[in-house]
Amino acid sequence: MTIRFGGVVAVNKMEIDVRPGEIVGLIGPNGAGKTTFVNAISGTYIPAEGSIRWHDEEIVGRSPSYLARIGVGRTFQNVASLNDLTVLDIVKVGRSVRKPSGGLRQFFFGNRRQDNDLTDKFLEPLGLADHRDSPLQVLSYGHRKAVDIARALAGEPDLLLLDEPVAGVAPAEAFALAGFVKRIRDQLGCAVVMVEHKMDVVMSTCDRIVVMAAGAKIFEGSGAGVQSDPEVRRVYLGDA
């Protein structure tokens, strides 16, 4: 697909194939087009050219809410917008995009069993159970990132798009979050595309790595391959 902003070609004939159950790392220098590409898959941008197919359906031009309903879930780099809601309510928002809850009253008051199920499934494994009734804004940055992952997962996506899920998170927490993503992939069998700059997390989490530079794919393969590829080294390190 190709995406232009005025004269800027942000994504240039980029192609990627993602299979169920696979975690694909999308890396590349700042401005490479990674977030723009993910935003197009999740319906925020419409490509100037190209096709996006999911489960044999052409999804170019579909709205983000439609895509969420058919199982395309995502996290965001900036997680501030739900600041006033509690952790549990945010998970319910994530749940409701795919599994309607039956009206606002039920949404907010729900029932205790349903709340406990959501807590066990999506908050406990991320270390968030003790915070379920806290508003997002009082949580640490690492916990807020974890809440955004829990929100996306509560919709039980088939394709999960993670935009820098561990950026700014302390190393131990980052590996815990990445480990959780792997366990969820094992449980749900969902495909994951993860944009991330932290290479140690990418290497230990992803089955395959795609490298973008200046809007285009310059490498696709294993972690070992990415480290030894001369074009990737040139782009990252300025090697001649």
Q: Which residues bind ligand ATP (CB under 6 A)?
A: 5, 8, 10, 28, 30-36
The H or E element spanning position 73 is: strand 72-74
Instruction: Give 68 or 210: the residue with its C-beta nearer to ligand ATP.
Output: 210
Q: How far is the CB of 3 from ligand ATP (least distance, A)?
A: 8
The sign one gets for the Cα dihedral 141, 95, 97, 33 is positive
The backbone region for 30, taken as left when phi is positive above 0, alpha when psi lies in -120 to 50, beta otherwise, is beta
Instruction: Give 128 or 202: the residue with its C-beta nearer to ligand ATP.
Output: 202
Q: How far is the CB of 57 from ligand ATP (least distance, A)?
A: 25
Q: How far is the CB of 118 from ligand ATP (least distance, A)?
A: 31
**Sheet strands side by side (includes 191-195):** 72-74, 159-163, 191-195, 23-27, 208-213, 216-221
Instruction: Give 12 or 86: the residue with its C-beta nearer to ligand ATP.
Output: 12
Instruction: Give 40 or 128: the residue with its C-beta nearer to ligand ATP.
Output: 40
Residue pair 209/215 in contact (Cβ under 8 Å)? The answer is no
**Token representation of residue 187:** 């449980």
Q: How far is the CB of 16 from ligand ATP (least distance, A)?
A: 14
Instruction: Give 28 or 71: the residue with its C-beta nearer to ligand ATP.
Output: 28
From residue 166, alpha-carbon distances to 55, 57, 175, 229 in Å are 29, 31, 8, 25
Q: How far is the CB of 194 from ligand ATP (least distance, A)?
A: 13
Instruction: Give 177 or 212: the residue with its C-beta nearer to ligand ATP.
Output: 212
Residue pair 197/209 in contact (Cβ under 8 Å)? The answer is no
> Shortest CA distance to 36 belongs to which of 48, 45, 27?
45
Q: How far is the CB of 26 from ligand ATP (least distance, A)?
A: 8
Render the burial of 58-88: b for 16+ CB within 10 Å, e for the rest.
Answer: ebeebeeeebbeebbbbbbeebeebeebbbb
